[in-house]
Each structure stands twice: as C-alpha cells, then as structure tokens.
Amino acid sequence: MSEGGRPGPRRRLLVRGVCAAGLLAIASGLSGCGGRQSILAPRSQQTHVISVLWWWMLGAASVVFFGAVGLLALGYLRRRSSGLPVLGEREGVVNAIVIAFGIVIPLIVLVTLFGASDIYAIRFSAAPKSGSTRMTVQVIGRQWWWEVRYPATGAVTANELHIPAGTRVQLVATTADVIHSLWVPRLARKIDMIPGRENRILLETPDVGTYLGQCSEFCGLQHAHMRLTVIAEPPGAFNSWLAAATRPSPATGGAAAGEGRALFMARGCGGCHQLRGSEARGTIGPDLTHLGSRSTLAAVSIPNTPAELAAWIRDPQAIKPGNHMPDLGLSGGESQKVAAFLEALK
C-alpha cells in the first residue's frame, strides 16, 4: 500500500488489467452474436429455448471465470513474500477453498448444464412426431449447394426454402455426397446430414421474413459459400409460390431468350441441369425450371441479376472456385443470351 492507505501503482495496474481482461472477454463473446444468423434473436419456440440456455451457460461461465480471476488477484494482492507460501494454521481453509472451487462447484455446474442442454433444449427441439406436422420438405446437401424438394407436389428448387408462416413443417435432411450440417440459427438447431441416412427436424416460425442458414460441417473447398435462405411467407403467398413452382418450365419470348435456349441445349447444359417439361433432365446441378424467380445464385454467393448471372455462366470458377460447373467457353454475348433465357424462367 502507498502512503495514506491508497493502493500502490502495481496494485492499481493489476486491478485495471483484471477489469480490462473481463471486459475484453465479454466483448469478444458477444461480438459474434449479432447479425442475420444470431442465436440471440430467435424466431421460433425451439430457438427461444436454445437462446435461454445460452444465456444461462454464459452466466455460469462468467461466474466461474470471474471467480477464478478474482481469487488469482486476491492471492497476488495478499502475498507476503516471494517463494512458496507458508500455510500454517490456514492450511485447512485453503484446502477447503480448493476443493470447493476446483471440484464441487464445477461438478455441480457441469451436471446442471448437461441436464439442461439434454432434457430442456435437445429433447424440446427433437424431430417432430409422425402426424404432428402439416407438410414435409426434403433438403439434400450437395457440394456446394442445397436441393429443396416438396414431395407432395413434385416442386423442386435450390438454395431457397419456402415455408408458410405459422405452420409446422417437417424437414427431412440427407446428403448426396459428403457429410453436411444444416443450420438456420434463428429457426432451428443444427442437424447433421450423413450419407445413407435421413435426419428430421421441426421447422416453424410465426413471423414472416427471410432467414439465413448455412452448412456448419466442413465439406470441402466452398464450404463457406454453401448457404441458403428460408423464406417464411403468409400461407396464401406460399400456396401461390408452390403452385407456380410445381408447373413445368414456362415458354419464353424474345429473340435473345430464344437464342439463349438454343445455346443452353446445344452446349450440353441440359446434361447437368433440369428444366421440367423439356428435354433437359440433368440431375448433377440445380433444377433451373424457375431460376428467374430466385433472389440469389450459387448458394447465396451472388444476387440473381442479369449481369451476375451472365458472369456466372461465362466463368463460374472465377466466382466460386472449385465448384462443379465447367467453363463452357461461351463468349460474352452468348453468356448474356443464355442469361436472358434463364431470367425469363419464372
């Protein structure tokens, strides 16, 4: 201590360091919890439960962390001399503190949090029971995009999952190649997609809106660009969208669109992509029957605009390196014609 009973410079520096470390830990932890994929902005009952559990775990971890830091600071401030401490009559008290904070309290906290996460959160958000949902959607993970199917109607789309708001939807997830993991943080917990298996999860939200999801299991070069959007819309709007998505490829007008269709067929695009109602029946790439109605391209990598679509068609590897779409050697004009044809498919 300095004169007058005030803390000396070394103690003030230590206290400031401890406070700064604590604030930095809190700021670092909360900095990744905002944005469009925040688990702290739930829009379903399942994610509300998960967010409550998250806050409780943060509180417990903070108590343990600051308790440990406080004991370290207390030990430093109350030291009497350098070297090993001489416990003497205080040995029993010190042993009791070590047992309490090193064994008993961590054991109670870990068991409590494990029970809460297993019983309260995981079981609450378990796969829906048979007959408890009004519709089923199948999502197939591929490198590196999402195929979305509506089995009851035959509608197929890619990277956009439409659901009616306020409706319980059963999502059946599987994969066509490697292991993926589907996660829409504001609507549901993560669900693994394993070859040869189907996993199920409940998807439900009362709120109309667009929610961003992604693959959360490393699956190759473009794992970071394997995203999808979940679009929750009023039941009437959803029914209209589903009816349109069920129809075959629409007829396109205009000279540029007609030339683009001829190029699409002549350059072998139909060998990888499907246009329902036409001779293009490929299953390697996304179904393009209603590509013009989608808001993004390449698994939410770029917006669906004529310029971006033409650039993607001309040189897909420049936009998303490693993807399975080859460079077909189209000129700039040819790419624009094919883009005009695809943009008309709504």
Instruction: Encode pLDDT of 288-302 as tens digits.
Output: 999 999 999 999 999
Check: CB of residue 259 under 8 Å from CB of residue 331.
Answer: no
Q: Are residues 303 and 228 both part of a single domain? A: no
Q: Are residues 14 and 103 both part of a single domain? A: yes
Higher-confidence position of 335 and 56: 335
**Per-residue pLDDT band at 83 (split at 50, 70, 90):** low
Given 197, 212, 246, the domain boundary residue is 246
Q: Are residues 259 and 242 both part of a single domain? A: no
- Model pLDDT, residue 65: 84
Average pLDDT, the chain: 84
CATH number of domain containing 196: 2.60.40.420
Whats the size of the chain, residue-wise?
Answer: 346
Q: Are residues 236 and 262 both part of a single domain? A: no
- Model pLDDT, residue 84: 53
Q: Show the tokens assigned to 69.
A: 């830091």
Residue 41 lies in a domain: yes
150 alpha carbon, distance to own chain's centre: 21
Residue 142 lies in a domain: yes
| Structural domain containing residue 259 | 255-343
Q: CB burial class (10 A; 0-12, 13-18, 19+) of residue 270?
A: middle
Residue 111: HSE in the Cβ half-sphere, 13 Å Cα cutoff? 6
Higher-confidence position of 17 and 334: 334
What span, in angstroms and rounded, lies between the C-alpha atoms of 118 and 215?
Answer: 23
Q: Are residues 177 and 269 both part of a single domain? A: no
Residue 53 lies in a domain: yes
Residue 43 lies in a domain: yes
Residue 95's alpha-carbon distances to 76, 82, 122, 272, 284, in angstroms, are 18, 21, 38, 70, 65
What mean pLDDT comes out for the span 36-44? 83
> Is cis: bond before 183, omega within 30 of 0?
no
Residues 6+ apart with CB under 8 A from 208: 165, 232, 233, 234
Residue 84 lies in a domain: no
Q: Are residues 145 and 40 both part of a single domain? A: no
- Nearest one of 127, 132, 125 to 52, comparing CA atoms: 125
Q: Are residues 113 and 20 both part of a single domain? A: yes
- Model pLDDT, residue 19: 57
Assess whether pLDDT exceeds 50 at residue 2.
no
Q: Scanning the structure block, which residue is given the tokens 């906290």? A: 109
What span, in angstroms and rounded, lies between the C-alpha atoms of 208 and 298?
Answer: 24
Look at residue 75 and give its three-state secondary structure.
helix
Residue 13 lies in a domain: yes
Residue 256: HSE in the Cβ half-sphere, 13 Å Cα cutoff? 14
What span, in angstroms and rounded, lies between the C-alpha atoms of 46 and 187?
Answer: 7
Q: Are residues 148 and 113 both part of a single domain? A: no
Q: Are residues 116 and 219 both part of a single domain? A: no
Residue 181 lies in a domain: yes
Say which amino acid occupies 62: S
Q: Show the tokens assigned to 286.
A: 């996304």
Q: CB burial class (10 A; 0-12, 13-18, 19+) of residue 82?
A: exposed
Residue 282 lies in a domain: yes
What span, in angstroms and rounded, lies between the C-alpha atoms of 137 and 346?
Answer: 21
Q: How many domains does the chain have?
A: 3
At 85-123, the pLDDT tens digits run 555 556 677 678 778 877 888 888 888 877 777 666 666
**Reduced to 3 DSSP states, what percent helix, strand and coil does the chain have, rounded to the nearest 5?**
45, 20, 40
What span, in angstroms and rounded, lies between the C-alpha atoms of 21 and 15?
Answer: 10
